[in-house]
Amino acid sequence: MKKPTAPIKIVFFDIDYTLYIKDETRIPTSITEQVLPRLKAKGIIPAIATGRNYEGFPEALKPLMNKDGFELFVTINGQDNLYQGRQVSDYRLSVERIQQAVEKLEKLGITYAFVSRNTIAVSENNEIVWNTTSPITKDYIVDPKFYLKDTTVQMLAYYSEERAQEVIDAGVLGSDLKAVRWNENAVDILLKDNSKARGIQDIINHFGFSIENAMAFGDGLNDVEMLETVGFGVVMGNAEPELKPFADFVTKDIREDGILYALEALEVI
């Protein structure tokens, strides 16, 4: 069994279906009763690395956002990064670039949204928007001009894989943006250079750690860069099959306490 080659000082966790069972709206008790206290006891920092914005964290996670749990957050795919309430780094889309994307999406008849630290604002509400966005937050707002009023870190666009080439051909992404799919009907739109990996590297630099001191757990395709960047990457047993080749270790399903199993098997705790 492959194991970490350097002492682990920080562990990054994706949220949905890594740390949090979204369809059951719960976090496994092994996280609260075993993982967090045992990491803390060894001086290892537990951190969140997610595509969600800070205010869009699940209610089940919020009681764990304190000195005894999580104080370090890589959010919105590594573009809004916080430690103990202080900004470590942030990346945002310019108003001009958003306007260009909006004009092209509107010509295609594709609904879009803006993501800030505190809010998701959609251009219109419809069944697809509700079905994809409400599991993240039911408190999203409808405001197609939100980007003129508040900082937009990234955009969302609501279209299926069948329209992906059409979006590219229309020039929505240009040479500087990328689309990362997180739902069969929705993608994140962000700057090409941005990812969870970039946010993680900023955090590593902030603490003066080596990347070999970092471990990460993930389950989705937006975790690829993160797993390739950290010293040791763990993929959940319930992960998308395409992600598993990027793992240093494939653990059990989230419902089988996969995080605890991996940390014990790898002798991290």
Counting beta carbons within 10 angstroms of the beta carbon of residue 245, is it exposed (0 to 12), middle (13 to 18) or buried (19 or more)? exposed
Could you tell me which of 69, 67, 7 has the C-alpha nearest to residue 35? Answer: 69
Active-site residue (options: 14, 219, 223, 257): 14
Q: Is 86 helix (H, G, I), strand (E, B) or coil?
A: strand
Angle (CA) 162-165-171 rounded to 5° is 140
What is the length of the chain?
269
Q: Per-residue DSSP letters for 156-201?
A: EEE--GGGHHHHHHTTSSTTTEEEEEEETTEEEEEETT-SHHHHHH
Is 46:70 a contact under the CB 8 Å cutoff? Answer: yes
- Cα–Cα distance for residue pair 104/49, rounded to 1 Å: 30
Active site residue 143: no
Counting beta carbons within 10 angstroms of the beta carbon of residue 36, is it exposed (0 to 12), middle (13 to 18) or buried (19 or more)? middle
Could you tell me which of 223, 215, 220, 197 has the C-alpha nearest to residue 46? Answer: 215
The set of catalytic residues is 14
